[in-house]
Amino acid sequence: MKHTFWFECTDNGGGHQSFVVVANDKQEAIKKGMAFAKKHASGDICGDWTCRLISEWTT
């Protein structure tokens, strides 16, 4: 079963990122999310990250 996870952060380059990742579990979501963040970051991907599971009932 796939789950949707929402990520948000302001990276060290000052860029705000927010995106969703579809994955089988949180571990896979984090791997996919960090790969996406690294590809699109305006600096490095360090910072305070929020990762939330989006309920299927609210989408």
Q: What is the pLDDT of residue 20?
A: 92
Q: Which tens digits make up the pLDDT trace of 20-34? A: 999 998 899 889 988
Q: Percent of the chain scored above 90 by pLDDT?
A: 22
Q: How far apart are CA 1 and CA 24, in angstroms?
A: 6
Instruction: Name residue, tokens 């690294």.
Output: 38
